[in-house]
Amino acid sequence: MNIYIRTQDSDLFKYLSDAQYALILAKTEAIAFEPSDIVLAKASLPESFIILQEGELELTGNKYLGSLFPGEYYGEIFYLEPFLSPITIKAVKPSKVLILKFSAVNELIANDPIFASRIQAAINDSLCLKIIQLTHGSING
Amino acid sequence: MVKYNDHPLYCFLNPEEKNLLKTIVKSQSFMAHETIINLGERNRDIICLEEGSVSIQVEDFEGNVNEVTRIHSGNLVGEMNFIIPTRRTANVVALTFVEADIIPFAKLCALLKEQPLLAEKIFSALSLQLRDKYLGMINA
């Protein structure tokens, strides 16, 4: 994003100050997954961001949609207006995931537009990159 | 956040915020067949199609022009370029008379830096547009 500078490694928290990062990290819950474990089931109603810390996750819908690597996350498409997931996310390696509930984010950013705009800017970056990845995937077959 | 309407960029803005944004918006008309964006340009303005339709076109290695898709009024053009710094990746040509709101990149960035609540609302509107584009691709 053009108006903020990246300050954190994690893609969702990239534009947060150290103090904001500490606040939001305290709201996360770490969960371990083994290969082939389902992290997000298709047709479930997502309530959280899924932030990958270690390992690798695979996204599938009607076809392979990409992979998540440490520092990347999923759930941004459900954040503003939740709906049933059109995709499944599965662990392909032993993975450690941070779960961050949308409701926890909303509590933190309520009445704090600086915090909110920085989270939203990171979400837009991620959506653009996912669109670009899919575009390249379709071009390259 | 209150959603006031379905406009692709102004949907979360109250009348005062919309007026604030309007101070930097340039309304521009294009005739049918007129080029609005040229492939390779570094321009990063956001274009809201208020009226009319455009064709998104790319050229193959032999110089043949291929239409990728059409975008109609009520949608944005160039929003990904606003977020990610790349050259324009396609030509955008008016199919009909087009009335567009053009939001200049530098002026919008300056305004959003000063107005974090406006930034949150504009970014949220962009997020819904990007989400729909992404969902269209994964469901294709």
Given a cut of 80, whether residue B83 has pLDDT beyond it is yes
Return the percentage of chain B with pLDDT > 70, whole number. 100
Task: Phi first, then psi: give them for residue B53, nearest 5 degrees.
Answer: -135, 150
For residue A138, what pLDDT is reported? 56
Position A9 in a domain: no
- For an interface test with B, which of A131, A132, A133, A139 has the most B Cβ atoms less than 10 Å from its Cβ? A131
Position A2 in a domain: no
Contact B123 A3 (CB under 8 A): no
Task: Read off the pLDDT of each residue in B102-128 and give the average, rounded to a whole number.
Answer: 96
Domain, as residue range, for A41: 18-139
CATH of the domain at A45: 2.60.120.10
Given a cut of 50, whether residue B76 has pLDDT beyond it is yes
Q: Are strands A95-101 and B46-51 parallel, antiparallel or unpaired?
A: unpaired
Helix (H) or strand (E) holding B122: helix B116-138
For residue A4, what pLDDT is reported? 93
Number of domains in chain A: 1
For residue A35, what pLDDT is reported? 98
For residue A94, what pLDDT is reported? 98
Position A130 in a domain: yes
For residue A117, what pLDDT is reported? 96
| Alpha-carbon gap, residue B14 to B121, rounded angstroms | 10
Position A90 in a domain: yes
For residue A135, what pLDDT is reported? 79
Tokens representing B100? 């567009």
Chain B: give the shortest CA distance to residue A34, in Å: 26
For residue A137, what pLDDT is reported? 66
For residue A1, what pLDDT is reported? 63
Position A6 in a domain: no
- Tally of CB atoms within 10 A around A86: 14
Taking 70 as the pLDDT cut, the residues of chain A under it are: 1, 137-141
pLDDT 10s digits, B3-45: 999 999 999 999 999 999 999 999 999 999 999 999 888 889 9
Angle of helix B15-22 versus helix B116-138 axis, rounded to 10? 90
Is the CB of A3 inside 8 Å of chain B's CB atoms? yes
Q: Match domain B15-134 to its CATH number in 3.40.50.970, 3.40.50.300, 3.30.420.10, 2.60.120.10.
A: 2.60.120.10
Nearest CA among B52, B83, B138 for reference residue A138: B138
- Taking the domains of chain B in order of start, what are their residue ranges? 15-134
Instruction: Flag whether the ipTM exceeds 0.85.
Output: yes
| Alpha-carbon gap, residue B101 to B72, rounded angstroms | 13
